[in-house]
Amino acid sequence: MNPTFPSDKTLIKHVALAGNIGAGKTTLSELLARHFGWDVHYEDTENNPYLSDFYLDMKRWSFNLQVFFLSSRYQQMLRIQQGNRTVVQDRTIYEDAFIFAPNLADMGLMERRDFENYTTLFQSIVSQIKAPDLMIYLKASIPTLVEHIQNRGRDYEGSISIEYLKRLNERYDNWINNYREGRLLVINVDQFDFSNDQNHAARVLEMVQGELHGLF
């Protein structure tokens, strides 16, 4: 069942999931889709022509990768806003701009001129789109992230370093602490193992349902 706003019957179109690599975004996306009858827009990793190369040579491919993700998520958001279904989005356009791109620039893995060009492009794009109706942030410690990454066994993630994950986590915390674009729900993945524990999954669904009622 797709929730609507009682006042004007406008569909709640966009629920977005944010979180570090291995936080459980795809798993929760599928759980929400099954429970609420929503569609899912996944992060396009399988058809990404730069991802494997990026993890092998980050400096060479960082700008290409970030522009690809920016374009992909912009197209996703346009489809969501133009559609008539509620969609849960696996990762957001904001994470590219506030987490991954600046982290690469600060690590010397993206040229400053490329980062400035990317930022200008992002600002132009984000001015044309509406923020998600609900942002769900999956907060996870480094040990939890590493466990999830190892369990799913994606070849291109094998070279991700602990230091890289730590830097991303710090940026995520800073971004979420300053997020003002819309309603926000933070779920501590260390405390709620919704992938393997049905009771935890039920509790997370209750938390999401409570936030949806707050939108009415």
90 catalytic? Reply is yes
The reply to whether 90 falls in a domain is: yes
What's the predicted TM-score (pTM) here? 0.87
The reply to whether 2 falls in a domain is: no
Report the SS3 class of residue 46. Answer: coil
Under 8 Å between Cβ of 115 and 105: yes
Under 8 Å between Cβ of 23 and 145: yes
The pLDDT value given to residue 184: 96
The residue annotated as part of the active site, out of 39, 44, 57, 90, is 90
Give the model's confidence band at 71: pLDDT under 50 very low, under 70 low, under 90 confident, else very high.
very high
What is the amino acid identity at position 203?
R
Q: What whole-number distance in Å separates Cα of residue 193 and Cα of residue 189?
A: 6
The reply to whether 3 falls in a domain is: no
Instruction: Read off the pLDDT of each residue in 169-187 and give the average, rounded to a whole number.
Output: 95
Structure tokens at 201: 């999954």
The reply to whether 4 falls in a domain is: no
| Count of domains for the chain | 1
Q: Which domain holds residue 86?
A: 14-214
Structure tokens at 211: 């936030």
Q: Cβ-count burial of 138 within 10 angstroms (0-12 exposed, 13-18 middle, 19+ buried)?
A: buried
The reply to whether 8 falls in a domain is: no
Q: Among the listed ranges 154-163, 173-182, 196-205, which one has the minimum average pLDDT value?
A: 154-163
The reply to whether 46 falls in a domain is: yes
The reply to whether 110 falls in a domain is: yes
CATH number at 109 reads 3.40.50.300
How do residues 117-143 score in pLDDT, each as one tens digit?
A: 999 999 999 999 999 999 999 999 999
The reply to whether 53 falls in a domain is: yes
Q: What whole-number distance in Å separates Cα of residue 18 and Cα of residue 3?
A: 21
